[in-house]
Amino acid sequence: MTPRWTTAVLDTDQPGGWAVARSPEGFLFDDNGALFPREWLKRQDLPILAEHGIGHLDGEPVYLLELRAPGDVPGCGWKGLRAFMLEGDHTLFKVLGYAAQIGTWAREHRFCGNCGQAMTQVPRERAMYCQPCDLRSYPRISPSMIVLVTRGDEVLLARSPRFVAGVYSTLAGFAEPGESAEDCLIREVREEVQIEVKNIQYLGSQCWPFPHSMMLGFHAEYAGGEIVCQEDEIEDAQWFNVHELPPLPASRSIARYLIDVYVARRLGHAEPVLPG
């Protein structure tokens, strides 16, 4: 089956297509969603910082208008990317997630990190360019490990102070320079709960555009230690029986997928599919 959404670097000099508008308050939306006829959207009095051609949805070109500030468009409001993930259709979330990553990266690379001069968008390539330095900057992706640690019928779940009240999730953390995925996973589990793990198994990955993570999901078995929570990062961590789980993360997250897969395997149920 042809995917409904594919990314592409489109020429912004071409007219027509759809556009999404993004401001520091999120994406513009109305009753029909977050995609607007591009020419119409550009006639609204919006403070456009940059325009990017980002891909095709059902064969139609899609552009991003990255704004300096949220403007007033009659009948429309502004909504954050997380809300689109929780409520909206998955394809729209993919479009907006990609738009958010491109918009953030391009906005943060308007000036060369080497010489400080203005950079320009490279035609037909997703890159910002500094001519004096001959330096290209590409979109930044931050690999993060996420792992469900298990001990028989028990799973290790933790709470960050940033989580919604009551929710427990798998452990996660960003890779540091010099680390393999496994090194990072072992370090993060040690740092966050002082637990040792073994039999690390890769399960799948997920783009997590908040703001630019690439989640690599693993299962690992408990190998030793007692839970000691990392100060400031981990508010609470516990072993939960698969029959008595606490409130869990959103169903589209890879965190939830890792938990659901393990529970399904333990109980002999059909395994869930990882949302793309």
Ligand X SMILES: NC(=O)c1ccc[n+]([C@@H]2O[C@H](COP(=O)([O-])OP(=O)(O)OC[C@H]3O[C@@H](n4cnc5c(N)ncnc54)[C@H](O)[C@@H]3O)[C@@H](O)[C@H]2O)c1
Contacts to Mg ion by CB under 5 A: 172-173
- Using CB under 6 A as the binding rule, whether residue 142 contacts ligand X is answered as yes
The residue among 4 and 187 lying less far from ligand X, judged by its C-beta, is: 187
List the beta bridge partners of residue 145.
Answer: 173, 216
Least CB distance to ligand X at residue 15 (A): 37
Binding residues among 163-222 for ligand X as defined by CB under 6 A: 169, 172-174, 188, 206, 208, 210, 213, 215
Least CB distance to Zn ion at residue 53 (A): 25
The residue among 242 and 250 lying less far from ligand X, judged by its C-beta, is: 250
**Which DSSP category does 1 fall into?**
-
173 closest CA partner among 223, 231, 233, 248: 233
- Using CB under 5 A as the binding rule, whether residue 112 contacts Zn ion is answered as yes
- Using CB under 5 A as the binding rule, whether residue 64 contacts Zn ion is answered as no
Least CB distance to ligand X at residue 261 (A): 13
- Using CB under 6 A as the binding rule, whether residue 80 contacts ligand X is answered as no
- Using CB under 5 A as the binding rule, whether residue 130 contacts Zn ion is answered as yes
Tokens of 101: 């990553």
Alpha-carbon gap, residue 164 to 86, rounded angstroms: 14
Alpha-carbon gap, residue 225 to 56, rounded angstroms: 50
Local structure of 257: helix, strand or coil: helix
Local structure of 105: helix, strand or coil: helix
CA-CA-CA-CA dihedral for 74, 76, 80, 85, to nearest 10: -170
Alpha-carbon gap, residue 111 to 109, rounded angstroms: 5
Measured from the Cβ of residue 242, the count of other Cβ atoms closer than 10 Å reads 17
Q: Which stretch binds Zn ion (CB under 5 A): 69-77, 131-139, 216-224, 260-268?
A: 131-139
Q: Work out what residue 65 binds among Zn ion, ligand X, Mg ion, none; the CB cut-off runs from 5 to 8 Å by kind.
A: none
Alpha-carbon gap, residue 175 to 188, rounded angstroms: 9
Least CB distance to ligand X at residue 182 (A): 16
- The sign one gets for the Cα dihedral 94, 96, 98, 101 is negative
Number of residues that bind ligand X (CB under 6 A): 17
Pair type for strands 154-159 and 142-151: antiparallel
Q: Work out what residue 114 binds among Zn ion, ligand X, Mg ion, none; the CB cut-off runs from 5 to 8 Å by kind.
A: Zn ion
Q: Which residue is nearest to Zn ion (CB)?
A: 112
The answer for residues whose C-beta is within 8 angstroms of residue 73's C-beta and 6 or more apart is 28, 44, 46
Least CB distance to Mg ion at residue 93 (A): 23
**Options 95, 253, 261, 262; binder of ligand X; rule CB under 6 A:** 253
Measured from the Cβ of residue 268, the count of other Cβ atoms closer than 10 Å reads 6
**Options 115, 118, 228, 267; binder of Zn ion; rule CB under 5 A:** 115
**Options 144, 157, 193, 209; binder of ligand X; rule CB under 6 A:** 144
Footprint on this chain of Zn ion (rule: CB under 5 A):
112, 114-115, 130, 133
Footprint on this chain of ligand X (rule: CB under 6 A):
142, 144, 146, 169, 172-174, 188, 206, 208, 210, 213, 215, 249, 253-255
